């Protein structure tokens, strides 16, 4: 679990640094213009880390499924080689998606002097700029959405279906709570990530308001990655114990500093 959390943190750092610096520069300079090369680069890196985040959440769901449904075989199934293999597959699949998105965008003809209703180069909006062949763009979008959206989500839903079925068979309420608490953080992150991401595309497809789509994009590209460390820290028992030890050390240090400070003051007064 901690191995996947480490990779998820690195991906979230790359995910936010793809869009946030350009957004801050645009706010400070009051200029939202971006070059053709810069837009393609930003879109490629954004798709790479976005897909990587998606696949890692799916892999973590499988990890929780093995931990709860097959606890005695967990160390054998989720060994270091398999964990590295799953992360490698996620990386190569994300690179393939980024490459396919670039190849499709390079065929867009109406790409000069246009405006995008977002604070970054959103692939779904850039593909809509294709004036030459709209049908092929739609087919490509549907295929990519099924492979990189529907399949990982189906894997997460299937894993949690097995997890919930196993938890309901536990006789004691304490055992059920303990089992479910191990995947509560991951489930919260999945709901935030997929809920806002789906909201972006539904709002852009069925609503004429661009502000709602920008707000949902801001949530799943900036807010959700920033909340991930807090979610896992607050809901993880080991993290709570570590934070408690650090807090106790700080309190002890403050008490000792206060005691030595008073002692030094009394000595100075005596002299």
pLDDT in tens, 83-107: 999 999 999 999 988 888 888 777 7
Structure tokens at 225: 């990655």
Same domain (yes/no): 185, 245 = no
pLDDT in tens, 215-245: 666 766 777 777 777 777 655 566 666 667 7
Contacts 24+ apart (CB under 8 A), 211-218: 213/117, 213/118, 214/117, 214/118, 214/119, 217/118, 217/119, 217/120, 217/122, 218/119
pLDDT in tens, 162-219: 888 888 887 877 777 777 777 777 787 888 777 777 766 665 555 555 555 566 667 6
**Domain span including residue 261:** 238-271
Same domain (yes/no): 194, 270 = no
Same domain (yes/no): 81, 167 = yes
Same domain (yes/no): 230, 261 = no
Same domain (yes/no): 248, 193 = no
Same domain (yes/no): 250, 123 = no
Same domain (yes/no): 56, 143 = yes
CA 140 – CA 170 distance, rounded (Å): 45
pLDDT band of residue 135 (cuts 50, 70, 90) is low
pLDDT band of residue 271 (cuts 50, 70, 90) is very low
What is the overall mean pLDDT for the chain?
A: 76
Same domain (yes/no): 181, 266 = no
Same domain (yes/no): 260, 142 = no
Same domain (yes/no): 67, 78 = yes
Same domain (yes/no): 252, 171 = no
Between residues 218 and 264, the one the model is more confident about: 218
């Amino acid at each position: 679990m901690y191995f996947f959390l480490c990779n998820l943190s690195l991906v979230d750092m790359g995910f936010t640094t793809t869009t946030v610096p350009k957004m801050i520069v645009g706010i400070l300079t009051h200029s939202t213009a971006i070059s053709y090369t810069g837009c393609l680069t930003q879109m490629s890196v954004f798709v790479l880390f976005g897909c990587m985040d998606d696949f890692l959440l799916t892999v973590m769901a499988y990890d929780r499924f093995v931990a709860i449904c097959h606890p005695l075989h967990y160390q054998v199934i989720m060994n270091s080689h398999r964990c590295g293999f799953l992360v490698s597959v996620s990386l190569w699949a994300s690179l393939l998606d980024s490459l396919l998105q670039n190849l499709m965008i390079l065929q867009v003809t109406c790409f000069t002097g246009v405006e995008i209703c977002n604070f970054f180069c959103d692939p779904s909006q850039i593909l809509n700029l294709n004036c030459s062949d709209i049908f092929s763009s739609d087919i490509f979008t549907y295929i990519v959405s099924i492979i990189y959206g529907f399949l990982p989500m189906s894997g997460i839903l299937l894993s949690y279906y097995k997890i919930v079925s196993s938890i309901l068979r536990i006789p004691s309420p304490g055992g059920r709570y303990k089992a479910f608490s191990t995947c509560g953080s991951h489930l919260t992150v999945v709901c935030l990530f997929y809920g806002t991401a789906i909201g972006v595309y539904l709002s852009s497809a069925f609503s004429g308001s661009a502000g709602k789509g920008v707000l949902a994009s801001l949530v799943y590209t900036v807010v959700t990655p920033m909340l991930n460390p807090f979610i896992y820290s607050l809901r993880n028992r080991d993290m709570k114990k570590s934070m408690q030890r650090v807090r106790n050390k700080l309190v002890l240090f403050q008490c000792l500093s206060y005691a030595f400070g008073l002692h030094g003051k009394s000595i100075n007064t005596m002299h």
